[in-house]
Amino acid sequence: MDFLHIQIAHIQRHLAFVAVDPIDWKLAVQGFSWTVTLFETYLLLRQYPLYSKTEPPPALTSHFKADEFKKSQDYGRDKAKFALVSGLLKQSLDSALLYFGFYAWSWGVAGWLIAFAGFGSEYEIVQSIVFVFVLYFLSTIPTLPLQVYGTFVLEEKHGFNKTTPGLFVTDMLKGWALAILMGSPFLAAFLYIFKWAGDRFVPWLMAFMITFQLIMVFIYPTVIQPLFNKLSPLKAGELRSRIELLASKLQFPLKHLYEIDGSKRSSHSNAYFFGLPWSKHIVIFDTLIQQNQPNEVEAVLAHELGHWYYYHPAKLMIISQFHIFTILALFPAFLRAPPVLAAFDFPKAVAANPPTIVAFTLFQMILTPLEAFVSIGMNAMSRSFEYQADRFACELEEKLQHEDMKDMGDRLGQALITIHVKNLSTVWVDWLYSAYHHSHPTLTERLRGLESYKAEIQKKKM
C-alpha cells in the first residue's frame, strides 16, 4: 500500500503546477471539447458519401435484396444527418453553459436549495448531491427535443419505433427517479470516502467502485430491468433445448434463460448474458427469436458464450479498473487547486476550498481528449474479442467433439446477415469512422473472418 501511495505522490509532484499556475482551464476545455466534436464531424463527413452507393459490398451482394439495401442506405443517411446536427447542437449548448458560468451558478443554486431546506454550507455532501442533480436536469431538458425527434421521427420513419408517447414519458420519469434513489447514496458514499480517507483515498475508492459494480450485478436484473422490460422464462421448445444443451456441454453455469420484450420499444434485436462467475443469466430479445431460426439464435449464443469462455468480461473489467485507477491517481492535483475553480468563474470563497464534487466534475471535463483516445483503444480491444468469439463458435465441433456443431460458423454468418438486414445496419463503413465509433467489426469483416476460420479448421482435418 505504501508503494502505491509513493507512486501517486510522485505523480502529484509532476502536476504541482495545477494548484498554483493561473491557467485558463475554461478556454482549454472549450478547445478540447470542440476539437473532439469537430473531429467526430469530420468522421461523419468521411462516412456520409458511402450512403450514396447503390450496391452492397461484393461479399454481400447475394444476401441483400435491392429494396433492403436501399432502406439500409436511407436509414444510415438519416442517422448520419441527425448525428451531425445533434452533435453540433449539444456541443454548442455545452459550450454556452461553460461560457456563461453554468457550473458556478449551479453550485450557488444548490447552496440556496439546501439553505431553504435548513442545511448550512458545512453540509458539503448534501450540497454536492443537489449540485449534481441540478446539472443533470438542467442540461438534460434542452436535449429532450432531440430525443423526441430521434424516437418519434427518425426511428418511426424507418419502422423501428414501438415506443408510445406515454411510454417515453414514463421511461424518462423512471430514469430520473432511479438516478435520484440510487445516485444519491452512491454520491454520498463516494464523497464520504474522500473525507474519511484523506490523501489515501485512491485504494479505498477503487474498492468501493468494485463493490458497487458487484452489487449492481444483483440489483439490475432483479430491480431495475423489470421497471422497463418484462423478462419471461424462455418457453420450452427447440431453441431452449439447443441453448441448454450447448451451455451444459460448455459447463456454462446457466441459472436462468430469459426472453425479453424488446419489441415493446423497438424492432432492433440483441442477446446478452450477465451474472456472477457461478451463476449466469442469458437474455434473448423477442425480436431476435422472431427474425431468426432456432439454430441461428443458437449460433449467436455460441458467440456470446465465446466471450465467457475467454474471460472477455473479466478482462474488460480489469482494464476499466485500471482506467479508473489512472483517473483517480491524477485527480489529487486538481482536488486542491483554487486556480482551476477560479478559471470556471467560481467565487473566491468557493475556489479557496474546492468542494470535492466540483473539482472532480471540472477534472473530468479537462480529461476530454484523453478519454477520446481511451475510447479508440477500448474499441480496438473489443473488436479483437469479437473476432475471438466468432472463432470460438467455428471451433465448437472440435472443442466439444459433437457433430451437430460442425456448421456453427455458417449459422452464425447467416444470423449476422439476418440481423444486419432486419436492423438496416450500415454495410459500407469508412475505416477511420469505424475505428473511432465501432466496438464490433463490420459485417464484411466478420464474414471474411468466419470464412478464414472455417478454412483453417478444414485444413487441419485434411
Catalytic residues: 304, 390
The rounded distance, in Å, linking the Cα atoms of 328 and 5 is: 12
Q: Which residues have a Cβ under 8 Å from the Cβ of 362 and sit 6 or more positions away?
A: 25, 29, 103, 334, 340, 341, 344
SS3 22: coil
The rounded distance, in Å, linking the Cα atoms of 352 and 409 is: 62
The rounded distance, in Å, linking the Cα atoms of 106 and 153 is: 33
* Strand order through the sheet with 279-285: 231-233, 254-260, 279-285, 271-276
The rounded distance, in Å, linking the Cα atoms of 284 and 207 is: 32
SS3 27: helix
The torsion angles phi and psi of 431, rounded to 5 degrees, stand at -65, -40
The rounded distance, in Å, linking the Cα atoms of 284 and 254 is: 14
Dihedral sign, Cα of residue 156, residue 161, residue 166, residue 168? negative
For residue 121, the one-letter residue type is S
The rounded distance, in Å, linking the Cα atoms of 373 and 326 is: 14
Residue 122 to residues 114, 118, 377, 408: CA-CA distances in angstroms? 11, 12, 42, 63
Is-contact 264 229, C-beta < 8 A?
Answer: yes
Cell of 20: 498554483
